[in-house]
Amino acid sequence: MALLEVNNLSISFGGLRAVDNFNIIIEKGELYGLIGPNGAGKTTVFNLLTGVYKPNEGIIRLDNEDITRKSTIEINHSGIARTFQNIRLFKEMSVIDNVKVGLAERFKYSALEGILHLGRFSGVEKEMDDEAMRLLKVFDLGSERDVLASNLPYGKQRKLEIARAMATNPKLLLLDEPAAGMNPNETGELMDTIALVRREFDMTILLIEHDMKLVSGICEKLTVLNFGRVLCQGETKEVLSNPEVITAYLGE
Amino acid sequence: MSFLTYLINGLSLGSIYAIIALGYTMVYGIAKMLNFAHGDFIMVGCYIIFSVSGAMSGNSAVGIIVAIILCTLLGVTTEFVAYRPLRGASSPLAVLITAIGVSYLLENIALLIYGADIKSFSSVVKWEGLSLAGGQLQIQGVTIVTIVISVVILIALQLFINRTKQGQAMLAASEDKGAAALMGINVNRTIALTFAIGSALAAIAGALLCSAYPSLSPYTGAMPGIKAFVAAVLGGIGSIPGAMIGGLVLGIVEILSKTYISSQLSDAIVFGILVVVLLVRPTGILGKKVQEKV
Amino acid sequence: MNKQTKNNLITYGIVIAFYIIFEILILTGHLSSHMKGLLVPMTYYAVIAVALNLCVGILGELSIGHCGFMCIGAFASAFFSKVTEESLPTAPRFILAFIIGIAFAALFGFLIGIPVLRLKGDYLAIVTLAFGEIIKNVINAFYIGIDSNGLHFSMKSSMELGMEKDGNIIVNGAMGITGTPHNSSFTIGIIVLLIALFVVQNLIASRDGRAIMAIRDNYIAAEACGVNVTSYKMMAFTISAAIAGAAGVLFSHNITTLTASSQYFGYNASIMILVYVVLGGIGNIRGSVIAACILYLLPELLRGFSTYRMLIYSIVLIVMMIINWSPKVIEWRKRTFGRFSFKKAGAKEAV
């Protein structure tokens, strides 16, 4: 059974069909790439999957559950976490607190216990700290736990964003251009991080990327979008050798 | 007949709100900031007219011209010193709080110079007005002048924005500052020009406001300023016809509710309308919808 | 003991030390009666500054109508105290007055929060101002009296109440409530301040507080992390209103005639509190307390200064905002002082 199954997904803004009849099937454990020229509708697909936009047509199923009309929050609770093209961290909060925001759905105590610092508060906070540190160490951010997120260098901000997404314990992780703005060195490190996330958490990942080296290096399957439509879909190698794809990328 | 009189009074007050709201809406449209001190520019204008007219033994024409010039300078200076440094600040609250600071500063400077006691302002409109329907319907001169001036300003602004290069630059900068700059528009100068026009309008509004309600104190401009902002929001911020409609609606509602419901509650009703409108149409009557890009 | 706990304890310590110093000054007769009269107002301004900072600094929404919630707390509790003055002993009555004042302010915070929190930025600010003015105006039009038949209510005049001869007007329109028992004291004010600090500081260091700050920093990312943005905003706003209500209870039980006047409850008063919050550091709870105390007492201590007080405050406010928030100035500071060494004083870590 596929983890994510999207059928006939479409959305229009004004007269423009930004995403038109989009289909995708992602199996558990896959690392899937969504590529395409600028303005092809890749981020719009992410926004549809995470409930930021509501589609005009189509069905999105996650783990056999229909999440099409759910809110962003509910979709996160159902098991999709994401990062953003332009990094969106909680800038004025510490690194560990960023992760603990992501953990909050799994580690609970009542607001009253929180305000009085009584009852389950201390125990749960301790568990959250431990879990957050475990995550941060995976992403090599352990020594920066008390640094303000905005003070982290760029590459580490990307990592923290992934760590925060992982903290929500997703079934599917969406990465929106994780290598944007990175130099080749940092991109290499990022590829290692993504590989690590798969290994460590047995995670299914869908990523948007422009960096062909990264895409061909780690993705098993690809979907190419062009003008909001699926141009080509399948194994990475086949897709990248498809003449239509080459035309779309390089022009006539 | 008395209803008609109140309606006309409301129209007149609404015209004043509209002129102030035009300044608000232009500045908001282009600089994306709520110039909380805009109402205090009105007060500054009034004090200038008061002082100059006093010195010139009652010649208010000179007073008005001086007030327009000085208010324009004040607006441009304020923008340059206090607001421009905060353009692009990470929190949108920064420039709003600064504007509140400017508002306080102007009020307290006026307090130091003129004291807290209320000055009686002699109307800049000397015309007695009309007496219609055999004296049953009295319309004051200042009421008529106010309505006429607001219409003239509205038309002039529309022409300026749609027909001149500077006006088009303003439109462009309010849509997208970055793109406007790439098209060779000097965004800083365009914003300064907007402040200049808005502040000049504030001076005119001040002259009319104090002519209709002849008591002047350091806080004269604050409440009309806020209500004019309410009017601008009501009409749809950034929209010039919207400011006009919003101002008129607000003025009429205020006068009618003062007359027929309760003078105590009229402000509550005015603000209540703002709340209701923002809930039903968060962008106001003529405003455009904007969604944040994810 | 972690850094946060330590920081919180320092804040309580400062407040307690402050209290002890003033108590000693009172006992040794070094405090004029004029100064003594300033102590309770100082505590309620500190309390409402803490409340406003929760809204502005932690939730990240600018409210310029917070004195409206203080007004509700003041009137609800004063009304209760007037009605029950004969029938209840002081201590339980005053405690109940606090509960009622806080509950009413929280209720209105909740009700007003529903529409207000759907808006953003400038719109939100202007609507809080609108609500503050609405509250003030509506209370000014209230007439409530009590006689042997029970409560009478009117929004026209005290004559409209139609009361029996034994009747007693409690809320008299714009004349407000007269003769609320003077139960507030410096000690009680300090206790309320400590409780307010306890609630806000603990909240910030909890799961819910982190969610609230996450919304402040980036609500889109917060939603994507599963944070229920609407309910956390409501929670922060309601708690903030409730604390402002507590300040109102202190206020009304310290004044002979309580009126919903602009001087105390208008938007200018709210802006004054905002000045305390900004100068103490947005998001810095301790800073708000210190700023409120100093800025309230200073002009009273330096006679003659008070004419220039607001002038100086406004200039300091503008300068502070530019220094702390101007992108150019921040860049210059980073260049000059290095990347990590200079962090905004009001930032979250200082809380």
Helices then strands, counting H and E runs in chain A, come out as 10, 10
| Contact list, B268 vs chain C (CB under 8 Å) | 133-134, 137-138
For residue C146, is it within any domain?
no
How high is the pLDDT of residue C299? 73
pTM: 0.90
Strand-pair partners of A47: none
How high is the pLDDT of residue C164? 78
B/e letters for C294-332, b = 16+ CB within 10 Å, e = fewer, are ebbbebbeeeeeeeeebbebbbebbebbbebbbeeebee
Inspect the interface and report whether the beta carbons of C138 and B268 lie closer than 8 Å. Answer: yes
**pLDDT for C92 beyond 90:** yes
For residue C149, is it within any domain?
no
For residue C158, is it within any domain?
no
- Give the whole-number percent of chain A exceeding pLDDT 90: 71
Distances (CA, A) of B55 to B110, B119, B121, C159, C341: 18, 15, 14, 50, 56
How high is the pLDDT of residue B37? 93
**pLDDT for C343 beyond 50:** no
pLDDT along chain B (294 residues), means of 10: 85 93 90 90 94 82 92 96 90 87 93 89 77 74 90 93 91 87 90 95 93 89 90 87 93 92 87 86 74 60
**pLDDT for C339 beyond 60:** no
How high is the pLDDT of residue C341? 43
Contact C108, C72 (CB under 8 A): yes
List the alpha helices (DSSP H) in B79-215.
Answer: 93-114, 141-163, 165-175, 177-182, 187-212
Q: How far apart are alpha carbons C60 and C53 in whole angstroms?
A: 9
How close A76 gets to chain C, by Cα (Å)?
A: 5
Between B93-114 and C306-325, two packed helices, what is the crossing angle to 10 degrees? Answer: 160
| C-alpha B191: how far from chain center | 17
Q: How far apart are alpha carbons A201 and B157 in whole angstroms?
A: 62
pLDDT tens track for C294-331: 888 877 776 666 677 778 888 988 998 899 889 888 88
How high is the pLDDT of residue C303? 64
How high is the pLDDT of residue A211? 78
- Dihedrals φ, ψ of A175, to 5°? -115, 120
How high is the pLDDT of residue C344? 42
How high is the pLDDT of residue C113? 95
Size of interface A-B (CB pairs under 8 A): 5
- DSSP assignment of B102-121 equals HHHHHHHHHHHHH-SSPEEP
For residue C210, is it within any domain?
yes
- Give the whole-number percent of chain A exceeding pLDDT 70: 99
pLDDT classification of C1: cutoffs 50, 70, 90 = low
How high is the pLDDT of residue A111? 93
For residue C155, is it within any domain?
no
Q: Within chain B, what is the greatest distance between any pair of CA atoms?
A: 65
B77, two tokens: 């200076």
Inspect the interface and report whether the beta carbons of B278 and C315 lie closer than 8 Å. Answer: no
Q: Is B13 on the interface with C (CB under 8 A)?
A: no
Which H or E run contains A5? strand A4-13
Q: How far apart are alpha carbons C340 and C158 in whole angstroms?
A: 64
Three-state SS for B100?
Answer: helix
Which H or E run contains A195? helix A184-201
DSSP-derived pairing of the beta strands B119-120 and B215-216: antiparallel
CB-nearest to C214 from A82, A90, A107 is: A90
- Give the whole-number percent of chain C exceeding pLDDT 70: 94
Contact C286, C4 (CB under 8 A): no
Contact A240, A51 (CB under 8 A): no
**pLDDT for A6 beyond 90:** yes
- DSSP assignment of C100-118 equals HHHHHHHHHHHHHHHHHTT
Q: Is B166 exposed, middle or buried (0-12, 13-18, 19+ CB in 10 A)?
A: middle
Contact A49, A6 (CB under 8 A): yes
Inspect the interface and report whether the beta carbons of B262 and C141 lie closer than 8 Å. Answer: yes
Q: Residues 18-47, chain C: which have Cβ within 8 Å of B?
A: none
For residue C19, the domain's CATH number is 1.10.3470
Q: How far apart are alpha carbons C265 and A149 in whole angstroms?
A: 39
C312, two tokens: 């100086």
For residue C338, is it within any domain?
yes
pLDDT classification of C346: cutoffs 50, 70, 90 = very low
Q: How far apart are alpha carbons B244 and B239 in whole angstroms?
A: 9
Q: How far apart are alpha carbons C179 and C141 in whole angstroms?
A: 19
CB-nearest to C138 from B33, B85, B265 is: B265
Q: What is the ipTM score, two decimals?
A: 0.92
Q: How far apart are alpha carbons C46 and A173 in whole angstroms?
A: 46
How many domains does one find in chain C? 1
Inspect the interface and report whether the beta carbons of C313 and B104 lie closer than 8 Å. Answer: yes
Side chain identity at residue B131, one-letter code: S
Q: How far apart are alpha carbons B225 and B206 in whole angstroms?
A: 10
pLDDT tens track for C230-255: 999 999 999 999 999 999 999 999 99
CB-nearest to C343 from A104, A128, A148 is: A148
Mean pLDDT for the stretch of residues A23-51:
92
Mean pLDDT for the stretch of residues C142-149:
87
Count of positions (residues) in chain C: 351
Q: How far apart are alpha carbons A89 and A79 in whole angstroms?
A: 20
How high is the pLDDT of residue A22? 94
CB-nearest to C322 from B86, B230, B262 is: B86
Between B240-260 and B2-31, two packed helices, what is the crossing angle to 10 degrees? Answer: 140
Provide the residue range defining the domain that includes C343.
Answer: 3-140+176-347
How high is the pLDDT of residue C349? 35
| Average pLDDT score over chain A | 91
- DSSP assignment of A34-98 equals EE-STTSSHHHHHHHHTTSS--SEEEEEETTEE-TT--HHHHHHHTEEE--SS----TTSBHHHH
Contact A108, A124 (CB under 8 A): yes
Inspect the interface and report whether the beta carbons of C325 and B89 lie closer than 8 Å. Answer: yes
- Dihedrals φ, ψ of B236, to 5°? 105, 105
Neighbours of A243 (CB within 10 A): 8
pLDDT classification of A144: cutoffs 50, 70, 90 = very high
Q: Is A78 on the interface with B (CB under 8 A)?
A: no
**A157-171, A230-244, B68-82: lowest mean pLDDT where?**
A230-244
Three-state SS for A222?
Answer: strand
Side chain identity at residue A142, one-letter code: G
List the alpha helices (DSSP H) in C54-174.
Answer: 66-84, 90-116, 121-140
Q: What share of chain B is helix, strand, coil (3-state, %, to 5)?
A: 75, 5, 20
